[in-house]
Chain A
Amino acid sequence: SQKIEQNSEALNIQEGKTATLTCNYTNYSPAYLQWYRQDPGRGPVFLLLIRENEKEKRKERLKVTFDTTLKQSLFHITASQPADSATYLCAPSNQAGTALIFGKGTTLSVSS
């Protein structure tokens, strides 16, 4: 069965450092991979989408890579800030973009 693994449940880093979150998937060949942010008690918020033929995507301090050979996506937040503290979810999806399979998420804590 399809499986999504995010490297760790929790990641603690100091303000100003780069946070790197990992998403690995098995038994799946997604056409897209999306990353979402979720704050406690709220719904996830879309951050970035990367296609299978794209190696890297950037948006402000965020960068996502997608390696279909390794079946892995890396999500980077540079110059992290305490406001970046949240749970980050990875979600590979099919060609239609309708069937998202979410990982459990990694909870990032950025301390000042």
Chain B
Amino acid sequence: ETGVTQTPRHLVMGMTNKKSLKCEQHLGHNAMYWYKQSAKKPLELMFVYNFKEQTENNSVPSRFSPECPNSSHLFLHLHTLQPEDSALYLCASSQPGASGSSYEQYFGPGTRLTVT
């Protein structure tokens, strides 16, 4: 266990559905991230939150909407997705700004999303 949990682990949704992915970290970190991992492609950074503020949006389509109510929780709200959005969505957390080796990111197990 990495201290980062994600629910659900698997999700199948139609293109007209609305669903949300949830991430929770128990590590006391102040930065949280959403990544997308598609087959045969590198991990793509989607969003970064530092101290609950969004600091990076990597040109993600508006059908993906993140929410960070506090430093421990991160959501990804999904609506009107396309089949090409099917992928593994990974959440991670880290403690930026600390000295030493504190820049590593701790990943959750991911949510396997299938859009039909």
Which size class do B's interface residues fall under?
20 to 34
A22 smallest CB distance to B (angstroms): 15
Query: When chains A and B are docked, how far (Å) is the Cα of A34 from the Cα of B43?
Result: 14
Known interface pairs A97-B94, A98-B94; A44-B45 also in contact (CB < 8 Å):
no
A109 within 8 A of B: no
Known pairs A43-B2, A43-B107, A104-B41; A97 contacts B90 (CB<8 A) = no
What residue in chain B is nearest A6 (Cβ atoms)? B42
Interface majority SS (helix, strand, loop, mixed), chain A: loop
Assess whether B106 is interfacial by the CB under 8 Å rule: yes
A91 to chain B, nearest CB (A): 8
Cα-based distance from A97 to B96 in the complex (angstroms): 6
| A16-46 vs B, Cβ < 8 Å mask (1 yes, 0 no) | 0000000000000000101000000111111
CB of A43 within 8 A of CB of B103, answer: no
Q: Which of B48, B104, B109 contacts A46 (CB 8 A)?
A: B104
User: B86-105, CB under 8 A of A: which get 1 and which 0?
Assistant: 00001010101100011111
**Chain A residues with CB under 8 A of B90:** 43-44
- Give B8-43 as 1s and 0s: 1 = Cβ < 8 Å from A's Cβ atoms: 000000000000000000000001010000001111
Partner of B107, one of A41, A45, A104, A105: A45
The answer to whether A101 and B45 touch across the interface, beta carbons within 8 angstroms, is yes
The distance in angstroms between the C-alpha atoms of A97 and B103, with both chains bound, is 5
From A46, A102, A105, give the contact of B106 (CB < 8 A).
A46
Chain B, residues 62-105, CB within 8 Å of chain A (1/0): the string is 00000000000000000000000000001010101100011111
Query: Which residues of B are interface residues toward A (Cβ below 8 A)?
Result: 2, 4, 31, 33, 40-43, 45, 48, 50, 55-56, 90, 92, 94, 96-97, 101-110, 112
